[in-house]
Amino acid sequence: MLRRLLSLMPLPFLASCGSNPGNHETHSPDWEALRARMVEQQIERRGVRSPQVLAAMHRVPRHEFVPSSLRHEAYHDYPLPIGFGQTISQPYIVAAMTEALALRPSDKVLEIGTGSGYQAAVLAELVSNVYSIEIIPELAQRAAADLFRLGYTNVHVRTGDGYAGWPEHAPFDAIIVTCAPENIPPPLVQQLADGGRMVIPVGGRWGQSLVRMTKRAGALAAYHAALAIAPDSWYPRRRRFWAWLCGGRRDFRRWSTTFGRRKLHRAAARRHDVPASCHAAARYTTACMAAVQQAAEKPARPHRLGCDKHDHNHGYTSHS
């Protein structure tokens, strides 16, 4: 019966069922268009205004820093796993931290927590030299190889404990820390040049603030809350909820970053039993500022600053 059916089947149809590789064209994504949309919808729309930072985010190929199986998600608005329990940061977080550093082309930057190398690549687009420390050897080796392959010869990566910094190349004009330490490491303060800026997250698992500090007369001063952010683990849920609330409109991010964040912080605070005084966004930021002051004044003790991204998932970021 099967033979009979095949004999009656038109020849063109049989030919179309063949596996001729020449008939199938594989189209790679338009990475540049995806980056442009990421910058416009996820970064610029949320308030990042520096033309230099926006241009750097547009140039750096984020898909080159994620596992090949996740490349199709490289320009989505959330962190992605990079192995060893770590993640590459959400693009907006990378841009916000970079803008907060107020970088100049001649600056020398120290990064604590190399991760995938993506944050270091963005920094390398803006400054003369980037020195990055990663505590996980496999991540450090992979990031160094990827950065070299992409031509970022002004990024220097080494494996080590970020708590001690990199004294051989101090002083640094800016220091970026991609995890929330219990106290601000004194070696990092010493290695920051006078007038230099440090951007560091503070807070707990329920949410964090990005804080920018400036060194004046040998000490950190001028605390400034650059941004208040909820943990990464909440972010995909937040996106789905606000998308649903807005009826599926694609422009819900324009207002979710204000009203939505306030609601999210209250929910996260309740879940993690944070005191009621921290439930409101304004008080939450004040509480984080107090935490920064306490961290700066806390006596130093032996500590490994390894930027374990799942400690808080960097609370808000991850290995960048």
Active site includes 89? yes
Residues 7, 50, 89, 256: which is the catalytic one?
A: 89
What the block records as the tokens of 100 is 């907060």
| Alpha-carbon Rg for the chain in angstroms | 23
| Alpha carbons 296 and 221: distance in angstroms, whole number | 10
Q: Give the three-class secondary structure for 184.
A: coil
Q: Percentages helix, strand, coil for the chain, rounded to the nearest 5?
A: 45, 20, 35
| Alpha carbons 235 and 224: distance in angstroms, whole number | 24
Euclidean distance between the first and the last CA atom of the chain, given in angstroms as a whole number: 62
If 0-12 CB within 10 Å is exposed, 13-18 middle and 19+ buried, where does residue 181 land? buried
| Alpha carbons 225 and 286: distance in angstroms, whole number | 9
What the block records as the tokens of 222 is 């001028």
Per-residue 3-state assignment (H helix, E strand, C coil) for 203-234: EECCEEEEEEEEEECCEEEEEEEEEEECCHHH
> Which residues, 6+ apart, have CB-to-CB distance to 91 below 8 Å?
38, 42, 43, 57, 62, 75, 77
Contact status, residue 111 vs residue 131, Cβ threshold 8 Å: yes
What residues act catalytically? 89
